[in-house]
Structure 1
Amino acid sequence: FIGERKFSDFLSKYLPPTPGDIKDLEGKTIGKHQGLWFYTLGQRQGLDIGGAGDAWYVAEKKMTENTLIVVQGHDHPSLLKQSVSVKKMHWTLKAPAQPRLKCFAKTRYRQDDQSCEVEIFPDGSLSATFEELQRAPTPGQSLVLYHDTQVLGGGVIEQVL
């Protein structure tokens, strides 16, 4: 844990600034960022871009181009995703015997339970497909699976589909 301080302040002590462009979906440059690691998908705060219309939100981080892609509107379609994949799941007991199961999942702290169907692959990875679109699930964050109040397991989101 980093204690009671801003995460960006903590990161800036260890990672050098790598400024890049902030672009909209059409590719128009609308601002500059100080490093992609300061931002997470769905983030609104700290973008320092104004303009007319709705607030701006992070929709994508293009690592190879060092570009932040933003969209306007809290529920913009670019922020809504159906599925996530996890490379390595950690089960609380043991992996379910069946390759598919219906359960509930969370991808964010204090999120309501989200109904989903999970497909478990022979290599131990899995994909979770949600009944309802999820707002800005993010690689690097956790997927936690539940059955009623029991935690089935969890893993780090590898990819958003």
Structure 2
Amino acid sequence: MKRVVVGLSGGVDSSVAAYLLKEQGYEVIGLFMKNWHDDSVTISNECPWLEDSNDALLVAQKLGIPFQTVDLSEQYKEKIVDYMFSEYEKGRTPNPDVLCNREIKFDVFMKIALSLGADYVATGHYCRKGEIEVDGKPMYQLLSGVDDNKDQSYFLCQLSQDQLAKSLFPIGALTKPEVREIAAKMELITAEKKDSQGLCFIGKVRLPEFLQQQLQPKDGLIFEVDADNAIYDQKTVNFDSIEEKLAFEAANIQYTPEVAKVVGKHQGAHYFTIGQRKGLNVGGTKEALFIIATDVATNTIYTGQGHSHPGLFKKALFVANDEIHWIRPDLALSNGQKMEVMARIRYRQELQKATLHQFENGMYVAFDAAQSAITQGQFVSWHIGDELIGSGVIS
């Protein structure tokens, strides 16, 4: 019997994952990760870890599997929270859920599981694992979940072959309603439980308050740039190379107060992100204001009216070499190579047609259609069919 450690989060997905593994004849151990102690920044009772750990314990008892709690709050603070603060300070927008999977669940947690003699670690993610042979060796694939509405492969876009080799995703071939149905049939306490929202494991956090613990408020100005400003006039430029053209398409427009008008004040450019509409507290405009750029050096925010404002759109993005990650190393591009893929720049975005271009200093992802709110610090993932083959941090 192979031994599997399941990350029991106290939610319905991981509960059913544990049940299915037990049905398949694995020796199952439930482990709850406690990653956060500070209740002062979570919105009351939205996702208190205590209730979650109790639910996880009750599920383990119901299934008749051993259960324990591991406290990873120190590692979580160091690898996720501190990283988030430093990224926001630089004016980038990190994705804590992707990092949490790479650094905590499939690294720190996986090492604990393997030290307990586990052959595998399982989670309640909606994705699937495939296995093929490349040059006589097994190669693992990260495949999308069958439930299009819940596919979570994007959150695992930074996993390695070593991590995938030891991972199981028992509910990847099921839809959410099917998972709830199994939980109800087994009378699991989590059957009707709402999905948790907010930061991976911290719960529903008031992000500005959370960031204010570390990043001091600084008064600054909010500018509005008109949609028909001359800065958006597409001049025809002749480029000497495809690399030059892509660099031009991926570059951020450099806004200055001269091209805009002051419409309000804010408490710190580092609290805001491209494409954001809420929290600006500026009224009186015909259409909603969207953030089109932030400048943490000058503590300035630039906005534009409406979700089709030209300042929101770009056709390409850049990923520096040290931020490129191939789940399928056998498919990695060499300098000068390109590849047609489908890509997405955020969770739940529909896959977009794109071409990867690898150059000496990094990779450009060029989209067939201009994309709204490409955000520094977020992850872009690239796919062939239903397989996620790689990802990178947007720079």
TM-score range, shorter-chain basis?
A: over 0.9
Matched, 1:69 2:302: yes
Secondary structure of the 1:40 match is coil
- Tell me by how many angstroms 1:27 deviates: 2.1
Aligned twin of 1:19: 219
Q: Is the 8 A contact 2:341 2:353 kept in 1?
A: yes
Runs of 5+ unmatched residues, structure 2: 1-199, 226-258
Q: Is the 8 A contact 2:270 2:296 kept in 1?
A: no
Alpha-carbon distance in structure 1 between the residues aligned to 2:388 and 2:224: 39
Alpha-carbon distance in structure 1 between the residues aligned to 2:307 and 2:344: 19
Q: Which has the higher helix share?
A: 2
Match of 1:58 among 281, 291, 296: 291
- Tell me by how many angstroms 1:3 deviates: 2.3
TM-score by length of 1: 0.92
- Tell me by how many angstroms 1:134 deviates: 0.3
Aligned twin of 2:339: 101
Cα distance per residue 1:53-80 (max 9 Å; x no partner) = 1010000112222110000011111101
Alpha-carbon distance in structure 1 between the residues aligned to 2:285 and 2:372: 23
Letter in 2 for 1:67: T
- Tell me by how many angstroms 1:133 deviates: 0.8
- Higher RCO (CA-CA < 8 Å; seq separation 6+): 1
Secondary structure of the 1:37 match is helix
> What do you get for the CA RMSD once the two structures are aligned?
1.3
Higher mean alpha-carbon deviation, 114-123 vs 91-100, is at 91-100
Runs of 5+ unmatched residues, structure 1: none
Secondary structure of the 2:273 match is coil
Alpha-carbon distance in structure 2 between the residues aligned to 1:4 and 1:35: 22
Once superposed, which parts of structure 1, at least 4 consecutive aligned residues long, lie more than 2 Å away? none
User: Which structure: larger Rg?
Assistant: 2
Matched, 1:91 2:297: no
Match of 1:145 among 351, 371, 382: 382
Secondary structure of the 1:65 match is coil
Alpha-carbon distance in structure 2 between the residues aligned to 1:42 and 1:112: 17
Aligned twin of 2:364: 127
TM-score by length of 2: 0.39
Secondary structure of the 1:14 match is coil
Letter in 1 for 2:384: H
Q: Which has the higher strand share?
A: 1
Aligned twin of 1:5: 205
- Tell me by how many angstroms 1:122 deviates: 3.0
